[in-house]
Amino acid sequence: MAIRRGRGVAAINYPTGMNLGGDPTQALVHSTPTGNFMVTLSSVDLGQGMKQIMAQICAETIGVPTDRVVVDTADTDTGPHCMGTFASRGTHRAGNAVIQAAREARQVMLEVAAEELEVNASDLETDGQGNILVKGAPQRSISIFDVALSAHFKRGRSISGRGMFLIPRSYPEKETGAMKPSTCYAHACTVAEVEVDDETGEVTVLTVKNVFEIGRALNPKMVEQQLVGGSWMGISHALYETTEPYYPNRDHGGTDFNQYLMPGPGDLAQTEIIVLERPSADGPYGAKGPGEMCANPQIPAVANAVFDAVGVRIDTLPITPERILRALKAQAGAPN
């Protein structure tokens, strides 16, 4: 009996969004009288940071600091239409809609500023700090605060915009059934190293090294946090989590979270994250959707590492010590 070490590799690709009716999302952007901007969405922030990313996208497009943007996710009664927050579609779909809406609002803003400065709107640019400047003559400028006041109380203009992102629908070919269900894909590869006790079946994950290709990381620190957390979640799915240990038999299933097995801090492996940026042609500033993909490749990587360590293939999750021991007995010809 011994502690055996193994290494497993797994690579995946993951579609961003889906191909149902164009997978649409809408966004509204408008300025307040004081030059702040409100983004209205029905897309929901589930903790993945959507509000922050939408604020960054809007601010970048209009040309204002991010702290001048507020994102209201409203609800489906009062907000513009959205298919939902799922399928790793939030940043890609809502982000594109916000860009469209913000561009429209920016154009109105520049038109009002042009009236105030007595120039053409095409001769203006923003400095990213809350000011609008005449190109080549930055001493001629006006603050966005003053432009918003003028629009509301002098010019009678609404600095606002509407955006909707809709992907081209892909229909299956009659002869082959081939289709294109997504316009862009994210990619990942994981290498997991484990130790397996062939007497007890216990698995210890030593290291997990992950490489993710996610288009462009619009907020690198938030991306890193999501990818690390997702990697830990993948390990948890691989080795621990289940509500039905003997499905479809309900015996011994947990009844609450006190009985729901998950890894603690001491069970988490040394984790390395590498992000590859290959901007998507149709993504907002090149972004794709890393959301769900980040917890996927660790599962087959751990399963392959267990196989490499003790030579048994476990194809039912979670990979418990009991299942490993039963597989080892079956391999040796012993009755279970």
| Stretch (H or E) spanning 61 | helix 50-62
Distance, CA of 100 to CA of 78 (rounded, Å): 20
Scanning the structure block, which residue is given the tokens 């991306």?
223
Which pair of structure tokens corresponds to residue 216?
């462009």
Return the number of other C-beta atoms located less than 10 Å from residue 122's C-beta: 9
CATH architecture assigned to 3-16+184-333: 2-Layer Sandwich (3.30)
Return the pLDDT at 78: 84
Q: What is the pLDDT of residue 57?
A: 97
Q: Which of 116, 125, 241, 292 is catalytic?
A: 292
Q: What is the DSSP letter of 6?
A: E
Nearest CA to 168 among 43, 278, 281?
A: 281
Q: Where are the domains of the chain?
A: 3-16+184-333, 25-165
What pLDDT score was predicted for residue 311? Answer: 95
Q: Which class would CATH give 25-165? A: alpha beta
Topology agreement, domain 3-16+184-333 and domain 25-165:
yes
**Antiparallel, parallel or unpaired: β 185-197 and 203-213:** antiparallel
Residues of the chain with pLDDT under 70: 334-336
DSSP annotation of 90 reads I
> What pLDDT is recorded for position 244?
79
Beginning with the edge strand found earlier in the chain, give each strand of the sheet holding 137-143 in spatial order. Answer: 124-126, 131-134, 137-143
How many whole angstroms separate alpha carbon 297 and alpha carbon 294? 7
3-state helix/strand/coil string of 147-200: HHHHHHHHHCCCCEEEEEECCCCCCCCCCCCCCCCCCCEEEEEEEEEEEEECCC
Beta bridge partners of 8: 192
**What's the pLDDT at 283?**
92
- The question of whether 292 is a catalytic residue gets the answer yes
CA 285 – CA 270 distance, rounded (Å): 32
Q: How many residues does the chain have?
A: 336
Angle at 212 between CA 208 and CA 214, to 5 degrees: 155
